[in-house]
Structure 1
Amino acid sequence: MTITKPTTTEPAIEPFLDQLQAQSTTHGCNLSELYQRRISGALNDNDALNRHRERNLDDDTVEQLKEKIERSGVEYLYYMLPTLRSRTVAKMVPAKHIVRNLEKGVNFTRNALMDFQNDVFGNPIGADIHAKEFVAMPDPESFDALPWDNQVGRIFCTAYEPEHLGAIGGRPNALDSRANMRRAHQLLKDVFGLTMRSGTEPEMVWVGESITPRTIPGYNPAYQVEYLEGMRPIYKRVHEYAGQLGFDMIEGDYEDRGQIELNWMFDEIERTADRVVTYRQICSQVAREFGVEASFMPKPFLGEMGAGCHHNISLWDEDGNNTFAVPGKTELHLSQLGRWAVGGIIKHSPGMMLIMASTVNSYKRFWDPGQFAPARADWGLDDRASSIRISSNGRAEVRVPDASVNPYLSHALLIAAIADGIGNQIEPPPAGALGADLPRTLGEAVETFRASDFVRANLPQELGDVYLEMKANEWAQYCGVLTQWEHDQYWQAIP
C-alpha cells in the first residue's frame, strides 16, 4: 500500500511520511500486514530461550551484575513476573546463586501467571494439575535493590517453555504479558522505524485514620494544598523510594478524598510499564509503614473521582523526532501520522476495552456523571470529555485505562492499533465529533473482546483465550452476588 500525503490548505512538513513510504517500498507490502505476519509468528521461535541464556552468560553481563549485587549488599532476590490480572508473582532465591540462575533460570508452576484462579465451578483457569512448569529467565538490566530493605533485591524475568517439551521447547511462554509487549514494541521499531514512549498517570486512593481529610460538602478538594499537606509524609516516602529505583518523579496533586496522583517522566514503554508495576509495590510498602491502606481500585466511591491510569503516548523516529508534532507548528495540533495512529486506536477501542478497563468495578467510572471518565471512542484537542485527548503538541492522552490495568497488555494493544492505523491510513473522525459508545459493563466488554478478530489476532491465542475465560468468569461471579441495592429495591417492592 502506498503512503499518500494528505492535501492541506497550509504548508506542513512531515518528513517522516517520506521515510514511511521508503519503509513500505523496501518491504514491498503494506506495513500493517507485515507487522501482523511477524507478530503472529513471534511465538514459534524454539531458540528464544537459548539466545536469552547466551545473552545472560556474556562475560561483561555476568561481571557487571555480580558487581551491582555485591555493591548493593543484596542477599536475597525476588525473581518476578507480572500476571494477567496485573499482579506480580515471584520466587525468592539467595543472591549468591545469581550466576546459576542466569544460566538455568527458575521454574514456576504454570498457574502462577493466572494467579491460580478458579472458575465458578472450582476448576483451575488456564492450567490444571497436569500443566507443565515454565522457565523464568532473569533480565539482568532490571536488577534493583529494594529501598526499604537493602538486603532484598528484585529482577524481572521472561517466561519460556522448558527445552524438554518437544515441539514447543525453548519457545516464549504465550502467557507472559511483559514479554509479549516487548516483542510488539520491537516489531514496531523494525517494521515502521518507530519507538513508542509513554507516561502514565497512576491515580490511587489512600485511606487511614491519620490521613482522613475534613472536606466541605458540595466542594471537591482537588489541588488544595491543605489536603496535599495532609499527605506529605506519604508522598515524601513514595518519592524517596521511587527515586532510589530510578524514577524521575516530576509532579503530583491531590485529586479527591484520599486520592493523589504522583507522576514520573515519560520513557520508552518497557521502562514505563515496569515502573507502573514497581510503583504499585512501592505504595503498598509505604502503606504498611504508615499503618494505612493504599488502593488501586478503579472506582472506590460513588460521587467521587475514579482512579484512572491515563497513558500519554507518542511515537519517535530513529533520529529522535516526535512524529506526533509537525516541526515549526505551534498551535495545538496532531500530525498526519498521529491522526492515523489515533484513527487506529478509535477503530479498535471497543474490542480493547476489556484490557483497558479490566474489572467489574472499572465500569462504575462510566456510570457516575461529571467525574471525567470517557465512555465513547473519540478524540479532541484538550478535551477531557474525549477518550483520547491531545493535551499538548506531541502527545496523545489515552484516558480509558484505569488504575487496575495491566500496562503490558494495554501498551501492546495500543501498538497493534497504531500499526493498523498508520499502515492503512485510518482517518479518525473530526476532533470533537461524538464517537461510538464503548462497552459499559464488564459483560459487554467480554462479548466485544470475544467478537474482535483484530484484538484476538494481536494477542497470543492462548493468552487471549485464558484472559477471556478469566474475565468471563469474573463477570459470572459478580452476577451471582446479592447486593444491598437489590435488597433495598426489592425486599418490600411487592405488594
Structure 2
Amino acid sequence: MTDGSLTTAEEEVLETIDAEDINFLRLQFTDILGTVKNVSVPARQAEKAFIEGIYFDGSSIEGFVRIQESDMRLVPDPETFAILPWRNHDDGASARMICDVYDTSTGEPFEGDPRYVLKNALERADEMGYTVNAAPEPEFFLFEEDEEGRATTETNDAGGYFDLAPKDLASDVRRDIIYGLEDMGFEVEASHHEVAEGQHEINFTYDDALATADNVATFRIVVRAIAAEHDLHATFMPKPIPRINGSGMHTHISLFTDDGENAFHDDDDEFNLSETARSFLAGILEHAPAITAVANPTVNSYKRLVPGYEAPVYVAWSDRNRSALIRKPAARVPAASRVELRSPDPSCNPYLAIAVMIHAGLDGIERGLEAPDPVRENIYEFDERKREAYGIDTLPSNLGEAVDALEADEAIYAALGEHIGPKFVEAKRAEFQDYLVDVSRWELDRYLETF
C-alpha cells in the first residue's frame, strides 16, 4: 500500500493500458509448490491495485494460510507488466503483472510468498556486496491431444538433438512460442529440438535472479498456451516417457560486485574461477542433497535422476564433462564466467529453487569452503569403488530421501523461512506417502499373472 501517489513505472503502465486498449489484468503469483495463480480484474482497477492492492482469499492457495487468517493482498510489480500475446482480440487485450503477496493483518510481506523468499536471498547477497545473475535452460515435451482434447504421451515428431524439419515437426510451434515470448519482453537466445522425441528447449538471456524466476513462471504459461493453439499439450513433467531422457532445467548462476565486476572470474586461475566462485561452488556441493528436495520436488523427478540418461546424479564438478552435478562452462569474456547446476528440473518452484542455490553458495563463501578438484573423467563409467576413491557422493534417489536431507540441513531449511519450510515438507511427505501406497501399471503387468 502506498501513500496514494504513483511511481513513474506505475504511471507508464496506466498509459500503456490506455494506449493498447487493455481490458483485463491478470495479477499473477505463485504458491509454494510452484503453481502459478492469478486474479483477473478489469484494467480500470489498475490504479487501485497499485495504491491499495487487490485482496483475495489466501486459505484456498496451497500452503498459504489457515481459513481463520485468509485475507491476503496482492501488490503488482509494474516492472513485470506485459501484454499477453494469445489474448489479443478486436475488442481489446489482456495483460499480466506479477505480484508480491502481503499479510493484511501486519501490512508486511507474507512469509509464505515464494517471491519474498527469493528476495530475502538476494538481500543476503546484497549485504555481502553481491548481485546475482541467473539463466535457466528449461526443457519440455510436446504431445498430441486425443479426440477429447486430453493430453497423451504421443509425440508429434521423431526428431533428435538439433534436428531440422521434416523430423522436427514442432519448429513452427517453437517459432510461435518465441514470438510470444518476445512480445512479452523476453530476449530469447536460442531454441532447438532436444535429445528425446518430442522434447524441446528454449533459452533466454542471463538476467538478475528475480527477473529470471519471474521469467520461468511466465515461460511455462506461454509455452502451454501457445502449444494448445496448435492442438498440442506442453508438459514440464521431468520424465513423462520411461527409458528416454527426461526434461531438466540446468541453471547458470554468477555473482557480480557493486562495481559491476564478475566476482566469479579470475584470469590467473586454471579454470578462470575466483576463490569466491570456488567457495560458492563448494557450498552448493555441500548442500546438494537438501537443494534436491526443492529443485527436484516431485516423485517423478527421481525417474529422471538416474544414471544412463545424461542427468547428473553425482555430487562433483567439472570443467569439461556433463556427468558431474556442476559444470563450469567455457566463457569467452570475463563477464560470462559462471557455474551451471545441472540437477534442477522444470517442475520446481523457480523462486524457491534459485533461492536455495543462492543461500547454499553464499554459505560456502561465508565459511570459506574449498571446492574439491574437478573430475574430468566420465563419472557415469565409474564403478562404486572408484566413486568412493574420488569421494563422490550421489544425490537422493527418491523424494523421501531428499525431504529427509532438507529437514536435516539447517541452512537450507531455514532459507525457506518459518512458514514455507514446514509447509513444503508437509506437502512433499504427503505426496511421497501417497506414491508409496499406490500400485503402478508396471507392477500389474509384471506380477498380476505371475503370482
- Give the TM-score of the pair, scaled to structure 1: 0.81
1:88 aligns with 2:36: yes
Provide the residue aligned with 1:6 in structure 2. Answer: none
Amino acid aligned to 1:173: F
Provide the residue aligned with 1:342 in structure 2. Answer: 281
Provide the residue aligned with 1:389 in structure 2. Answer: 327
Provide the residue aligned with 1:289 in structure 2. Answer: 229
How far has the Cα of 1:59 moved from its partner?
5.0
Amino acid aligned to 2:6: D
Any conservation in 2 of the 1:381–1:391 contact (CA below 8 Å)? yes
Specify which structure has the higher proportion of helix.
Answer: 1
1:476 aligns with 2:433: yes
Q: Could you tell me how far apart the structure 1 residues matched to 2:13 and 2:447 are? A: 63
Provide the residue aligned with 1:430 in structure 2. Answer: 373
Q: How many residues align?
A: 419
Provide the residue aligned with 2:304 in structure 1. Answer: 365
The DSSP-based 3-state class of the residue aligned with 1:391 is coil
How far has the Cα of 1:434 moved from its partner?
4.6
Amino acid aligned to 2:211: R
Q: Could you tell me how far apart the structure 2 residues matched to 1:357 and 1:170 are? A: 33
Provide the residue aligned with 1:108 in structure 2. Answer: 56
Provide the residue aligned with 2:69 in structure 1. Answer: 131
Q: Could you tell me how far apart the structure 2 residues matched to 1:354 and 1:478 are? A: 16
Amino acid aligned to 1:359: T
Provide the residue aligned with 2:133 in structure 1. Answer: 197
1:298-447 correspondence runs (5 A): 298-327=238-267, 332-367=271-306, 369-393=307-331, 394-432=337-375, 433-447=390-404
Provide the residue aligned with 1:160 in structure 2. Answer: 102
The DSSP-based 3-state class of the residue aligned with 1:416 is helix
Provide the residue aligned with 2:184 in structure 1. Answer: 245
Q: Could you tell me how far apart the structure 2 residues matched to 1:412 and 1:227 are? A: 41
Amino acid aligned to 1:386: A
Deviations 1:204-239 (A, max 9, x none): 000127962246xxxxx2222236641121011011
Q: Could you tell me how far apart the structure 2 residues matched to 1:422 and 1:144 are? A: 37
How far has the Cα of 1:492 moved from its partner?
4.0
Any conservation in 2 of the 1:161–1:171 contact (CA below 8 Å)? yes
Provide the residue aligned with 2:121 in structure 1. Answer: 184
Any conservation in 1 of the 2:158–2:167 contact (CA below 8 Å)? no
How far has the Cα of 1:62 moved from its partner?
4.0
Provide the residue aligned with 1:213 in structure 2. Answer: 157
Q: Could you tell me how far apart the structure 2 residues matched to 1:57 and 1:478 are? A: 51
Any conservation in 1 of the 2:299–2:431 contact (CA below 8 Å)? yes
Rate the CA distance shift 1:444–1:328 in 2: closer, same or farther, 3 A: closer
Rate the CA distance shift 1:152–1:468 in 2: closer, same or farther, 3 A: same
Q: Could you tell me how far apart the structure 2 residues matched to 1:257 and 1:65 are? A: 42
The DSSP-based 3-state class of the residue aligned with 1:84 is coil
Q: Could you tell me how far apart the structure 1 residues matched to 2:8 and 2:114 are? A: 28
The DSSP-based 3-state class of the residue aligned with 1:196 is strand
Amino acid aligned to 1:175: G
Deviations 1:407-454 (A, max 9, x none): 100111111111111111101221115522211101111211122212
Any conservation in 2 of the 1:442–1:475 contact (CA below 8 Å)? yes
The DSSP-based 3-state class of the residue aligned with 1:226 is coil
Q: Could you tell me how far apart the structure 1 residues matched to 2:316 and 2:59 are? A: 38
Any conservation in 2 of the 1:382–1:389 contact (CA below 8 Å)? yes
Any conservation in 1 of the 2:278–2:371 contact (CA below 8 Å)? yes
Rate the CA distance shift 1:430–1:138 in 2: closer, same or farther, 3 A: same
Q: Could you tell me how far apart the structure 1 residues matched to 2:276 and 2:316 are? A: 17
Provide the residue aligned with 2:45 in structure 1. Answer: 97
Any conservation in 2 of the 1:248–1:265 contact (CA below 8 Å)? yes
- Decide which moves more: 195-204 or 447-456: 447-456
Q: Could you tell me how far apart the structure 1 residues matched to 2:435 and 2:116 are? A: 31
Any conservation in 1 of the 2:140–2:235 contact (CA below 8 Å)? yes
Instruction: State the superposition RMSD in angstroms.
Output: 1.9
Rate the CA distance shift 1:346–1:59 in 2: closer, same or farther, 3 A: closer
How far has the Cα of 1:488 moved from its partner?
3.0
Q: Could you tell me how far apart the structure 2 residues matched to 1:288 and 1:226 are? A: 21
Gaps of 5+ in 1: 1-49, 115-124, 216-220
- Give the TM-score of the pair, scaled to structure 2: 0.88
Deviations 1:94-145 (A, max 9, x none): 011111121221122223441xxxxxxxxxx664433321111111111111
The DSSP-based 3-state class of the residue aligned with 2:345 is coil
Rate the CA distance shift 1:446–1:211 in 2: closer, same or farther, 3 A: closer
Deviations 1:52-72 (A, max 9, x none): x24x83353442221121122
Q: Could you tell me how far apart the structure 1 residues matched to 2:261 and 2:10 are? A: 35
Amino acid aligned to 1:287: A
Q: Could you tell me how far apart the structure 2 residues matched to 1:354 and 1:258 are? A: 27
How far has the Cα of 1:85 moved from its partner?
1.4
The DSSP-based 3-state class of the residue aligned with 1:155 is strand
Q: Could you tell me how far apart the structure 2 residues matched to 1:304 and 1:461 are? A: 39
Q: Could you tell me how far apart the structure 2 residues matched to 1:227 and 1:378 are? A: 39
Amino acid aligned to 2:330: S
Q: Could you tell me how far apart the structure 2 residues matched to 1:226 and 1:291 are? A: 19
1:73 aligns with 2:11: no
Q: Could you tell me how far apart the structure 1 residues matched to 2:8 and 2:439 are? A: 59
1:144 aligns with 2:82: yes
Q: Could you tell me how far apart the structure 1 residues matched to 2:421 and 2:231 are? A: 38
Any conservation in 2 of the 1:381–1:389 contact (CA below 8 Å)? yes
